[in-house]
Amino acid sequence: MATVLTDNRCLNCGIPVDADYFDVSGFIGKALRERRPDDPFDGFDPFPTLDVPAPEALPHRGEQKVLARFQLHPQYCGELTYFAQYTDLYARDNTQILTPGFEWIIAQNGKPVFPYIRLEMIVNPWGCNCLPVLVRLDQSALIEFIIRNRSITDVQLNAYPIKAFAGRIMGRYWYNETFGGR
């Protein structure tokens, strides 16, 4: 059990004991696989039957899409503690970590967070949260996990081996007592 001072903060890390968690994720691309004759569910598109919107398409060259976004409440600070990356190609073969022509970016208030800028490969695979990060988030920060198409044309996208990208960001946030105390 964490030792706590009278100001309700952990002695080890300084984070308030009553800090909350965030965990958001998102997905773009096609959720389908090529149909195999021996499997009637391959290629099945669940979105129309569930009456939910289909995921957005992959971004065109020069465009970017937000995979996951979290906005801290006014007067709250926080930390990004984990992020995870997913592609359908990596899910089929975990040696396929490269995402040529696409880059992953973690941004805080619209600005890339060093060193998580221009990642051109999967460095934190979905389901393997063994590589924590510790990025302090500014008061009222907007944190986004972005995928950007740097060089793949629309013609090349049709034959591109990756058909889906997903991202997940996790962390903690708490009230900043400099804005009035408790």
Name the residue ranges covered by the structural domains of the chain. Answer: 20-179
Top pLDDT among 5 and 105 is at 105
Q: Tell me the pLDDT of the chain averaged across its residues.
A: 83
Confidence of residue 4 (pLDDT cuts 50, 70, 90): very low
User: Is it the case that residue 168 has pLDDT exceeding 90?
Assistant: yes
Looking at the DSSP assignment, which residues form a beta bridge with residue 98?
Answer: 121
Looking at the DSSP assignment, which residues form a beta bridge with residue 29?
Answer: 164
Pairwise CA distance, residues 69 & 174, whole Å: 17
Q: Provide the pLDDT for residue 75.
A: 86
Query: Sheet holding 135-137: strands in order across?
Result: 20-29, 164-175, 76-87, 135-137
**pLDDT tens-digit readout, 25-57:** 999 998 655 556 666 555 556 566 667 677 889
Q: Which token pair is 78?
A: 């926080």
CATH topology of domain 20-179: Jelly Rolls (2.60.120)
The helix/strand/coil state of 90 is helix
The Cα angle at residue 72 between residues 115 and 11, in degrees rounded to 5: 75
Among 25-34, 81-90, 93-102, 146-155, the least confident range: 25-34
**pLDDT tens-digit readout, 94-108:** 899 999 999 999 999
| pTM for the full predicted model | 0.82
Top pLDDT among 181 and 146 is at 146
Q: Provide the pLDDT for residue 16.
A: 73
Among 12-26, 42-56, 90-104, 159-173, the least confident range: 42-56
Mind giving me the DSSP string for 94-139? Answer: TT--B-TTEEEEEEETTEEPTTSSSB-B-SSBTT-TTS---EEEPT
N-terminal to C-terminal alpha carbon distance within the chain: 23
